[in-house]
Structure 1
């Protein structure tokens, strides 16, 4: 079968290679991949790929071999999946606890856009706690996670301010009900909750705009600049602020993925897909995603025709 493997070349991060079809573990199903999504974090990992690493954590497709232990969906079931790796291929082996069954009304493009970004958003908002009536600041908001966080938080009753690099990248967030600014220092605080994913100077600037007793959840460093906090600056800022480190990982993923699929089916969650293309365009799409030329998610199709 065909799969995409890392090249180590920033200008063309992946290339096609012939590979044996995966042999599933007893608790894994074999999925014929119809579509897969890219994540910006994967573009960073591709700069210095680990030996043996096979990229790809977000897929949608059809079960062609059910798990030997009897768990999970049967042959012929359409699914969204979150494998540990190896999803950018014609076939992927996925633990059944990381699969969700797709209804006919949810297409493969939207389904493939859900796993990593959607699960991150769902678990991030659980970490933040009840948001009804609370003022929330979200940095790095125009990527895949940011769109999900915005729609879910506004739907839960939050008054959300989103920080994006440009007006164009904030258009969809405005439509979802967010107030959009382009610098953290332009955000009209104070905020009860900050969801911070940029790092560098953005985190201390966001911290300075919080209410006393508020919570900052730090879930990324997309700007790739370390954070520096000055103790004496904090003395003049809000008191008793809590900073929480967050990472989405932790199986099982299937229940959260199923919840996201239900929200899409019910019309309460709308994946923002900035590009849908044939998987022969994966390398150039990765470069565009890394350079922030794609808003929301990028989804690639193995079947040959973009939807």
Structure 2
């Protein structure tokens, strides 16, 4: 089958090639991939900045089940699905554990669903970690990315007073439509905030931490700037009292991916969640899309269509 394979070359991270068509295990469905989205974490792994360099990428896919799981679990043959495999999804076919798959209703397009898995799961679980949001103030840094769009819409709907930080006004327009207050510099964010969701890194982390109210919490879930965060813990003596700084991994949750994917799909179908696709193209353009996404030139999600 055709697949995008790692090259080891930072200038062109993946290239088209041939891979063996996967054979599904008893608890796996074989999915014909029709679209996938790409994520910064996968790009960093291809660059070698994160563990897993050399592995075949592809964690966000949507398509058609062409072979149901032999153990009877999961979707039936012929059903459209969205899935979150651990890798290998940038290909014509993927074998996926059924506890990582959700069925799509007719009202949710395949291309829309492809933008859901990693960013949607991260946003959903971030807000679950943050706790009750009704009447609480929430600051979201790096808010124009895929996670930021989902977090902002879900948090506003949950009753939070959301301030979203974006680099430019055009990137924040959709977030403002969701009901967030949009600023382009932390100096304009105001505060103090009950909770900060921080994904930029570098000096932004310390600046955002200083905007917490007493006993507030900062949840760190990314480093989009590529710069390590440097924190001076002596600064706590003149900053937020008893603040909590927490690292977050969307993988560290007891809920199966399938259940949370199904919840995201239901929210989309009900018109309560709107995946934002900042770039849509054929998968032949994946190398250039990876470069653009790494350079933060694409807002929200980038979705690639797999040729028939």
Q: Of 78, 86, 94, which residue of structure 2 is paired with 1:92?
A: 94
- The answer to whether residue 37 in structure 2 is matched with residue 33 in structure 1 is no
User: Which of 295, 298, 301 does residue 294 from structure 1 map onto?
Assistant: 298
Deviation of residue 51 (structure 1)? 6.1
Matches of 1:135 and 1:159, distance apart in 2: 5
Q: What secondary structure does 1:229 align onto?
A: coil
**Deviation by residue 1:130-172 (Cα, 9 ceiling, x = unmatched):** 1111110001111100000000001111110111112221111
User: Per the alignment, do residues 75 and 5 of structure 1 end up closer, same or farther by CA in structure 2, a change over 3 Å counting?
Assistant: same
Higher mean alpha-carbon deviation, 200-209 vs 243-252, is at 243-252
What's the TM-score, normalizing by structure 1? 0.96
60, 77, 88: which one aligns with 2:62 = 60
Note the residue ranges of structure 2 that are not aligned, 5 or more in a row. Answer: none
User: Residue deviations 1:183-218, cap 9 Å, x none?
Assistant: 222211010010011111111111111110111111
| Pairing 1:88-237 to 2, within 5 Å after superposition | 88-237=90-239
Partner secondary structure for residue 63 of structure 1: strand
Q: CA deviation at 1:10?
A: 2.6
Q: Deviation at 1:238?
A: 1.4
- Partners of 1:109 and 1:173 lie apart in 2 by 21
Q: Report the CA distance between 1:271 and its aligned residue.
A: 0.3
State TM-score, norm by structure 2. Answer: 0.96
The whole-number CA distance in structure 1 between the counterparts of 2:54 and 2:244 is: 39
Query: How far off its partner does 1:8 sit?
Result: 2.1
Q: Give the conservation status (yes or no) of the 8 Å contact 1:185–1:206.
A: no
Equivalent in the alignment of 2:267: 263
Among 279, 282, 285, the alignment partner of 1:281 is 285
Q: How many residues align?
A: 304
Please give the alpha-carbon distance, in whole angstroms, between the structure 1 residues aligned to 2:239 and 2:297.
Answer: 35
Structure 1 unaligned blocks of 5 or more: none
Q: Give the Cα–Cα distance (whole angstroms) in 1 for the partners of residues 296 and 270 of structure 2.
A: 30
Q: Whole-Å Cα distance in 2 between the matches of residues 208 and 11 of structure 1?
A: 38
Q: Is the CA contact 2:59–2:118 (under 8 Å) kept in the aligned structure 1?
A: yes
1:252 matched to 2:256? The reply is yes
Distance 2:170 2:37 in 1: 22
For the residue of structure 2 that corresponds to 1:7, the secondary structure is strand
What is the aligned partner in structure 2 of residue 16 from structure 1? 16
Using the alignment, how far apart are the partners of 1:104 and 1:287 within structure 2? 33
* Inter-partner Cα distance in structure 1 for 2:293 and 2:35: 17
Aligned-partner SS, 1:46: helix
Q: Which residue of 2 aligns with 1:76?
A: 78
Report how far residue 52 of structure 1 moved.
Answer: 4.8
Distance across 1 between alignment mates of 2:178 and 2:216: 24
Deviates more, 1:119-128 or 1:173-182: 173-182
State the alpha-carbon separation in 1 of the partners of residues 240 and 47 from structure 2: 39
Counterpart CA distance in 1 for 2:47 and 2:240 is 39
